[in-house]
Amino acid sequence: MTSATTLPEAAPTRRVRLEALRRGVTPYLLSIAGFGWLGFFFVIPLVSGLLVSLMTGNPDQGYVLTWNWSVYADLFTGPTPYWLYLVRSLTYGLSATAFTIILAFPVAYFIAFRVSARWKTTLLALVMVTFFVSFIIRTDMWFYLLGGNGPITRVLVHLHVLDHGQTFLSTPGSVIGGMVYNDFAFMVLPIYVAMERIDPRLHEASNDLFGNRANTFFRVTVPLTRSGVFSGILLVLIDTVGDPVNSSILGGKETYTIGQAIQNAYFTTQQYNVAAALSTLLMAILGIILFLYARVVGTENIEDLI
């Protein structure tokens, strides 16, 4: 042991404990406002959505919480085929997501690897430029362009691609197309960011190890952009599955989606319990899909991906 000490023995004093407390409390103080806001105006509303779904009543007498779980069963067995809208929305969302990946990947790849550094920002900005125009206006312009009188339809009719009086509108194709259009940049951006992080030497290494272009692409580039693709899927799928706008503007009789059904139940029929049940169910199903995806594909750090 070192020389005998004249100093008092070592146990944490009150001051040390206070200081530890002060340091321990700091992160809570910093996040209290955000926690409060998110808790009060996001988490509690989600819970209250669940509670409202378990209420019974009607707009006249009001709704009272009766823990009526059967509303969920009614979604599947009632006269209105809500299950169909749900399945339809999921199909649209998943197809739109798939198409977006297929289209966005080459675009991101082109900007990330085939273009000199000084052009990258400009080319990326051209993809992002759609954000400078209101989403509603963009979608409505497609409505006019694809309408029976619209320039696109008239050209196609002229070319005999379409019959007279036929349009692309009011079909699942036009709804999914609208979704792909509107969410395209949400997919390009994260994939591009992930690609930018790839060390170009890895491509050389792959080539060096006898990988041809395709090998390099599928064995190096694709796995390394997985996190970007995941964020893209997260953004696009979530946005498209619940979307009522594309289907309402570009859709037809057979493209009624869950988003429209929720809006309709809240505003038109004022069946608040049904609307809340639909929204809770949608949230739960999306949550399960994302969880399974994260599990199967494996994501190292889920927050890092956003």
Partner 1 sequence: MSADDKLNGRGALDLSFLRGAAKPRATGGGMSRRNLFRGAGAVAGAGALASVASACSIQGTQTSATAADATDWYAWWAGKKLNGQFSFDNWAAYIDQDKNGNHPSLDTFTKKTGIKVTYDDAAVTDTATYYGKIAPSLAAGKPIGADLFVMTNGWEFTELVNNGYVAALDNKLRPNFLRNADESVLSPSYDFNSTYSAVWQSGYTGIAYHSDLVDGEITSWEDLTKAQYKNQVAMFGSLDELSQVGLLVNGVTPSSSTKSDWEDAADWLTNKLSPNVKKFYDQGYLDAFKSKQMAITQAWSGDILAIQANFPKVKFVFPEEGFGVWHDNMMIPVTAENPLDAMTWINYYYQTSVASVIEDWIWYKSPVVGVREYIRKVIDDPDYVNSELAFPPSDVLARAYEYVSIKDRTTYDTYTSIFNPVVQGS
Partner 2 sequence: MSDQTLTRRPTFGPGPLHPDDIPEVKPRRKLGLPLFYCGIVTFLLIPIVAMIVYSFNVPTRNAITPVWQGFTLDAYLNLFAVQGIAEAFFTSVAIAAASGLVSVLIGLPMALALSRYRFRGKGVLNSMIFLDISAPSIVVGSSALAFFLSLNFTMGWTTILIVHVAFNIAYVVTTLRARLSGMGQNLEQAAGDLGASPLVGFFTVTLPLVAPGIVAAFLLAFAMSIDDYVITSFVNGSTETFPLYAYGFTKKGMAPQVLCFGTIVFVVAVCLAFLNGLLNRRRP
Partner 3 sequence: MSEAPPPSSSEAAISLRGVSRRFGDAIAVNNLELDLAQGEFFALLGPSGCGKTTTLRMVGGFELPSTGRIYLDGTDVTALPSHKRDVNTVFQSYALFPHLTVAENVIYGLRRRGTAKKEAFTRAEEYLELVGLTGFGKRRPTQLSGGQQQRVALARALVNHPKVLLLDEPMGALDAQIRKTMQTELKRIQREVGITFLYVTHDQAEAMSMADRLAVMNKGRMEDIGTPARVYDHPSTAFVASFLGSCNVLPLGTEGGPTTLPDGSATLVEGATAPATSGWSLGVRPERVNLAEAGTVSGPNATTATITDVTYLGAVSEVHLETAWGTPVQVLQQRGDAGLLVPGRQVAMSWKADECFWLPPENETPTTQEDAA
178 in Cβ contact with 249 (< 8 Å): yes
* The binder of partner 2 chosen from 57, 81, 172, 242 (CB under 8 A): 242
Convert residues 47-86 into a mask of x (bound to partner 1 by CB under 8 A) and - (unbound): xx--xx--x-xxxxxxxxx-------------xxx--xx-
CA distances, 68 to each of 43, 72, 100, 263, 274 (Å): 21, 9, 40, 21, 11
* The binder of partner 1 chosen from 164, 210, 300, 303 (CB under 8 A): 164
Q: Is 18 in the site for partner 3 (CB under 8 A)?
A: yes
- Residues comprising the chain, all counted: 306
Neighbouring C-beta atoms of residue 199, cutoff 10 Å: 9
Q: Name all contacts of 67-71 with Cβ < 8 Å and 24+ positions apart.
A: 68/273, 71/273, 71/274, 71/277
Distance of alpha carbon 285 from alpha carbon 237, whole angstroms: 12
Q: Is 1 in the site for partner 3 (CB under 8 A)?
A: yes
Q: Specify the residue, 2 or 134, whose C-beta has the smaller distance to partner 3.
A: 2
Q: Which residue has the tokens 């209105």?
A: 80
3-state secondary structure string, 260-284? HHHHHHHHCCCCHHHHHHHHHHHHH
* The binder of partner 2 chosen from 11, 132, 160, 200 (CB under 8 A): 132
Closest-CA residue to 226 (of 291, 298, 289): 298
Could you say which of partner 1, partner 2, partner 3, none residue 294 binds, taking C-beta under 5 to 8 angstroms by partner kind? none
19-48 residues in contact with partner 3 (CB under 8 A) are 19-20, 23
80-119 residues in contact with partner 1 (CB under 8 A) are 80-81, 84-85
Stretch near partner 2 under the rule CB under 8 A, chosen from 68-76, 157-165, 219-227, 236-244:
236-244
Three-state DSSP at 150 gives: coil
Could you say which of partner 3, partner 2, partner 1, none residue 57 binds, taking C-beta under 5 to 8 angstroms by partner kind? partner 1
Three-state DSSP at 162 gives: coil
244-303 residues in contact with partner 2 (CB under 8 A) are 244-245, 249, 258-259, 262-263, 266, 272, 275-276, 279-280, 282-283, 286-287, 290, 302-303
Q: Is 8 in the site for partner 3 (CB under 8 A)?
A: yes
Stretch near partner 2 under the rule CB under 8 A, chosen from 73-81, 133-141, 168-176, 217-225:
133-141
Closest-CA residue to 113 (of 212, 204, 215, 17): 204
Distance of alpha carbon 18 from alpha carbon 115, whole angstroms: 57
CB of 36 to partner 2, least distance (A): 9
Q: Is 15 in the site for partner 3 (CB under 8 A)?
A: yes
Could you say which of partner 3, partner 2, partner 1, none residue 165 binds, taking C-beta under 5 to 8 angstroms by partner kind? partner 1
Three-state DSSP at 292 gives: helix
- Strand ranges (DSSP E) for the chain? 55-58, 62-65
Residues that bind partner 1 (CB under 8 A): 39-40, 44, 47-48, 51-52, 55, 57-65, 79-81, 84-85, 143-144, 147-150, 164-165, 167, 169-170, 251-254, 256, 261, 264, 266-270, 272
Residues that bind partner 3 (CB under 8 A): 1-3, 5-13, 15-16, 18-20, 23
